[in-house]
Chains A and B, each alone.
Chain A
Amino acid sequence: GNSVTQMEGPVTLSEEAFLTINCTYTATGYPSLFWYVQYPGEGLQLLLKATKADDKGSNKGFEATYRKETTSFHLEKGSVQVSDSAVYFCALSLNDYKLSFGAGTTVTVRA
């Protein structure tokens, strides 16, 4: 079946540190890949996406590259801020756009 495995948290960082959250997937076809973020007290929202191999999604300083050879979609940010504290979910979808989510990674950034 289709599934997503992402790095377990929680992750605690200092401001301006480098953040990476690993995500790997298993899929029967060629999925689109997503990172969703949930800030405290808010609903999930799309952070970035990539729809085919070697595509790079980027938003708010975050980047992730769709790596078909390693079935990965790792999330990175070069310099985190306190406002990046949130839960991050990796997700995939096939043609019907039904999302399958990973378990989420809680990130806390300290000033």
Chain B
Amino acid sequence: QVQLVQSGAEVKKPGASVRVSCKTSGYTFTRNWIHWVRQAPGQGLEWMGIINPNGGATMYAQKFQGRVTVTRDTTTSTVHMELRSLRSDDTAIYYCARDHSNEMVVWWLDPWGQGTLVTVSS
């Protein structure tokens, strides 16, 4: 079955960088884009960015432009998300999710990774 398995929890100091990985399996890696979504404690879901594993093209939310980079490794079917210049308000659970679209009028995410808690604290 399709699975997205993320790397483990991280604790970082303000100003540092974090890299979260999302290893995919059970489907052809290059067929579906992968999104990154985060959720701060007690808050809603926030879309961060997307990568097309077939070629590596990316799009990012304006809020994270210049601070986030999403890459992919086709040899391991893994997507990585790096967030730099971390602040305390970057403390959140970070999720990857597999993208689907039907005729470009409906978009859905399924499945999701289990989430990775990133804690930013001095």
A and B: bona fide binding partners: no
> A residues engaging B (CB < 8 A)?
none
